[in-house]
């Protein structure tokens, strides 16, 4: 019987920068579209059907004494390959439980900082999809920003820390993943906040997330300050936390900038995107720490697993912030784009409350990487 490893155990290896060898047995097309990355992970692709008659072809690529983690789409084929490796003398072959589908759902909490008056800020890293969400806690209350649909993880975290979830905020209407904000608000009895310009078609009640409507978390009054920052969507709204941290949503990333086309309005929103990045953000303190809603490249992860950067440093090194010519900028953000996220139209409809797919349908809709950034 093949030995197995959980997504949490694998995530800890990657975040802790452990040498990790992964054998991905999905077909090459699936592998090239989306794979496990980060830390010191080395990944080899050998499609499952090439190994049905034996694993001898791997002997030149693998050491029989080293740990090998076998990965497939859902955890079935990887068990069979791990068994074949074990029979062939590989002593430390493991199958990743649940495969890439389970990997896509894992959230790894990373503490970003202690806030004033005893508060704290956590970043939840969705390693399998590049999504980043945040928990701001203070004096027994918590606000969660850009929550993923796996709401039980946030519930468990809050319960363990003895905090009540009072505010759920989405920086914009997401198109690459299903938001857990509204569901969490219903479960916890909290308030769901959404930018009103992104919410014109919603089918539910919400509190407008807009500039001037500051939110406080706990009696110690950790301030969440919305800053209107359109461009990725017409309603995109950034958040300044405790006067030190800038949650940029999908407007600004560590190595790229947000794409303006996921509602089919790229030409209309390019001007907004440029105004936000080249004017609005420049009025803010360059000492703010940028915390985005996504990352696209494994090298964006720091050694402790977090994704962050100083705003001033990004103005020096982020290629999306270095384009002086307006027309050249427009060309970059409308022509230099990756494929649309998987099922993005139905994801938008789900987040608007227009459709209600079941859990398995939601998982299938989210399969694949995030594609919210302009390719650099």
Supply the CATH number for residue 86's domain: 3.40.250.10
Measured CA to CA, the distance from residue 97 to residue 85 in angstroms comes to 17
Residue that has been written with the tokens 């198109």 in this structure = 175
Domain identity same for 125 and 236: yes
Domain identity same for 29 and 134: no
Q: What percent of the chain shows pLDDT beyond 70? A: 97
Name which of 65-74, 161-170, 226-235, 365-374 the model is least confident about. Answer: 365-374
From 103, 122, 145, the end of a domain falls on 103
Q: How far from chain centre, in Å, is Cα 35?
A: 14
The pLDDT confidence band at residue 77, using thresholds 50, 70 and 90, is very high
Average pLDDT of the chain to the nearest whole number = 92
Domain identity same for 188 and 41: no
Active site residue 131: no
Residues 6+ apart with CB under 8 A from 303: 17
Give per-residue pLDDT as tens, 185-228: 999 999 999 999 999 999 999 999 999 999 999 876 678 899 99
The count of C-alpha atoms lying within 13 angstroms of the C-alpha of 215, restricted to the half-sphere facing its C-beta, is: 30
Q: In a 10 Å sphere around its CB, with 0-12 CB exposed, 13-18 middle and 19+ buried, how is residue 184 labelled?
A: buried
Domain identity same for 316 and 215: yes
Reported residue count of the chain is 376
From 74, 103, 132, the end of a domain falls on 103
Measured CA to CA, the distance from residue 292 to residue 307 in angstroms comes to 8
Q: Is the CA virtual torsion 11, 250, 351, 363 positive or negative?
A: negative
Give domain status of residue 212, yes or no: yes
Give domain status of residue 158, yes or no: yes
Name which of 36-40, 235-239, 277-281, 320-324 the model is least confident about. Answer: 36-40
Q: What is the pTM of this model?
A: 0.91
Ordered strands of the 207-208 beta sheet: 108-114, 120-126, 131-138, 141-145, 164-169, 191-194, 207-208
Better-predicted residue by pLDDT, 366 or 93: 93
Distances (CA, A) of 55 to 4, 80, 92, 101, 277: 19, 11, 15, 25, 51
Q: What is the mean pLDDT of residues 116-131?
A: 91
Give per-residue pLDDT as tens, 294-310: 998 778 888 888 999 99
Domain identity same for 285 and 236: yes
Name which of 74-83, 95-104, 295-304 the model is least confident about. Answer: 295-304
From 50, 79, 103, the end of a domain falls on 103
What's the token pair of residue 103? Answer: 């990997």
Quote the pLDDT of residue 334: 82
Catalytic residue (one of 58, 69, 72, 143): 72
Give per-residue pLDDT as tens, 126-147: 998 899 999 999 999 999 999 9
Determine the structural domain holding residue 84 and report its residue range: 3-103
The count of C-alpha atoms lying within 13 angstroms of the C-alpha of 269, restricted to the half-sphere facing its C-beta, is: 23
Count CB-CB contacts under 10 A for residue 76: 12
Number of structural domains found in the chain: 2
Better-predicted residue by pLDDT, 338 or 250: 250
Domain identity same for 271 and 179: yes
Q: What is the mean pLDDT of residues 317-345?
A: 86
Domain identity same for 123 and 192: yes
């Amino acid at each position: 019987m093949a030995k197995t490893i959980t997504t949490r155990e694998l995530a800890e290896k990657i975040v802790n920068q452990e040498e990790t060898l992964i054998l991905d047995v999905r077909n090459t097309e699936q592998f090239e579209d989306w794979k496990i990355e980060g830390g010191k992970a080395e990944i080899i692709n050998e499609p499952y059907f090439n190994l049905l008659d034996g694993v001898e072809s791997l002997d030149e690529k693998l050491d029989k004494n080293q740990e090998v983690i076998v990965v497939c789409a859902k955890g079935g084929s990887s068990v069979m390959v791990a068994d074949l490796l074990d029979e062939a003398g590989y002593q430390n072959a493991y199958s990743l439980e649940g495969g890439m589908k389970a990997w896509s759902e894992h959230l790894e909490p990373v503490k970003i900082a202690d806030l004033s008056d005893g508060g704290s800020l956590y970043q939840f890293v969705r390693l399998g999809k590049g999504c980043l969400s945040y928990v701001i806690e203070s004096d027994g209350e918590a606000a969660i920003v850009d929550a993923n649909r796996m709401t039980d993880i946030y519930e468990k975290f809050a319960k363990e820390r003895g905090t009540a979830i009072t505010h759920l905020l989405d920086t914009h209407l997401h198109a690459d993943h299903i938001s857990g904000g509204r569901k969490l608000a219903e479960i916890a009895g909290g308030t769901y906040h959404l930018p009103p310009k992104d919410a014109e078609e919603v089918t539910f009640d919400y509190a407008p997330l807009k500039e001037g409507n500051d939110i406080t978390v706990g009696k110690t009054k950790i301030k969440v300050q919305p800053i209107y920052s359109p461009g990725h969507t017409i309603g995109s709204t950034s958040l300044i936390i405790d006067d030190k941290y800038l949650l940029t949503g999908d407007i600004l990333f560590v190595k790229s900038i947000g794409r303006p086309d996921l509602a089919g309005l790229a030409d209309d929103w390019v001007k907004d995107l440029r105004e936000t990045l080249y004017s609005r953000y420049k009025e803010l303190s360059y000492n703010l720490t940028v915390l985005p809603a996504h990352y696209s490249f494994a090298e964006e992860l720091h050694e402790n697993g977090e994704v962050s950067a100083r705003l001033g440093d990004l103005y020096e090194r982020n290629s999306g912030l270095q384009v002086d010519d307006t027309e050249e900028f427009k060309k970059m953000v409308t022509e230099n784009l990756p494929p649309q996220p998987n099922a993005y139209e139905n994801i938008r409809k789900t987040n608007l409350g227009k459709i209600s797919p079941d859990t398995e349908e939601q998982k299938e809709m989210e399969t694949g990487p995030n594609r919210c950034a302009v390719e650099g």
